């Protein structure tokens, strides 16, 4: 009987959490990240070829959770649903790695020799790496588009994005500046990045603000 009571209590608590998440509760999302971030990161670090990708993938998982929570209907537990998203992201990363990184030729790979046995490296044969006028213009156009999109991100997410992603402050510094805990900073970053991505993915032909959820 005790196990049944515990199960019912857990289901009720999870249903309440899901309702808060769907309502856009910042506190609920911050709690979710604090609860699952480390375990999701550990899972990804063990399932992708390059462990350096695990942190970025973990962020992407929670972006997907934030954007997809409305489609969660309780067919499985919330924990199972989040892990499923993480495994799908890991699978996508592995496929990308197989298509691209596995066949890359190292820049330091010797491709011949010059006088006195000195090797000629692949990087030594490349064309001038300087940025062309066209590339510079394209970069400037992209920078302007990102700046425009960033301006449309509502507060407090925009300030958090600027402090962390533009200015490069560490999470602890951002938390201290904004007077919030680390979980809230991470939650705001995930939500802010999701909103920014939605804006950047909108058709560029109309530079009009896209409606976003605050």
The pTM of this model reads 0.60
CA distance 167 to 170: 9
Which residues partner with 169 through β-bridges?
none
Element holding 190 (H helix, E strand): helix 182-201
* Backbone phi, psi, residue 179, to 5°: 65, 35
pLDDT at 127: 44
Read off the tokens for 94: 């592995």
**Of the candidate ranges 10-14, 31-35, 147-151, the one whose mean pLDDT is the lowest:** 10-14
Give CA–CA dist 33/59, Å, rounded.
10
Higher pLDDT, 129 or 60: 60
Confidence class of residue 75 from pLDDT cuts 50, 70 and 90? confident
At 85-128, the pLDDT tens digits run 998 898 888 887 777 665 554 545 554 555 566 665 544 544 44
Cα-trace Rg, the chain? 22
Q: What is the mean pLDDT of residues 130-157?
A: 77
Count of positions (residues) in the chain: 214
- What pLDDT, on the 0 to 100 scale, is given for residue 179? 87
Per DSSP, 49 falls in state: S
Asked if 60 and 48 touch (Cβ cutoff 8 Å), the reply is: no
Beta strands in the chain (DSSP E): 110-113, 119-121
- Region 65-86 average pLDDT: 89
Handedness of CA 24, 25, 29, 30 (dihedral sign): positive
pLDDT tops 80 at residue 134: no
| Structural domains of the chain sorted by starting position, each given as residue range(s) with its CATH number in brackets | 2-98 (1.10.1740.10), 133-201 (1.10.10.10)
* Lowest mean pLDDT segment, chosen from 32-41, 112-121, 181-190: 112-121
Mean pLDDT of 65-69: 92
Q: Residue 170: what pLDDT?
A: 87
Confidence (pLDDT) at 97: 73
- 93, HSE (Cβ side, Cα atoms, 13 Å): 23
């Amino acid at each position: 009987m005790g196990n049944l009571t515990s199960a019912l209590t857990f289901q009720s608590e999870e249903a309440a959490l899901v309702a808060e998440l769907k309502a856009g509760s910042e506190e609920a999302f911050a709690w979710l990240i604090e609860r699952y971030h480390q375990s999701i990161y550990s899972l990804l670090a063990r399932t992708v070829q390059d462990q350096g990708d695990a942190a970025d993938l973990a962020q992407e998982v929670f972006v997907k959770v934030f954007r997809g929570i409305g489609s969660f209907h309780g067919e499985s537990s919330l924990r199972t649903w989040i892990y499923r998203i993480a495994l799908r992201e890991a699978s996508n990363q592995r496929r990308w790695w197989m298509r691209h990184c596995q066949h890359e030729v190292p820049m330091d790979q010797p491709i011949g020799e010059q006088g006195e046995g000195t090797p000629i490296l692949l990087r030594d044969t490349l064309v001038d790496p300087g940025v062309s006028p066209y590339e510079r213009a394209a970069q400037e156009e992209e920078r302007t588009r990102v700046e425009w999109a960033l301006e449309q991100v509502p507060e407090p997410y925009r300030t958090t994005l600027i402090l962390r992603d533009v200015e490069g402050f560490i999470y602890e510094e951002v938390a201290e500046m904004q007077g919030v805990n680390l979980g809230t900073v991470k939650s705001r970053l995930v939500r802010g990045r999701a909103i920014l991505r939605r804006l950047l993915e909108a058709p560029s032909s109309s530079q009009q603000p896209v409606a976003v959820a605050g």
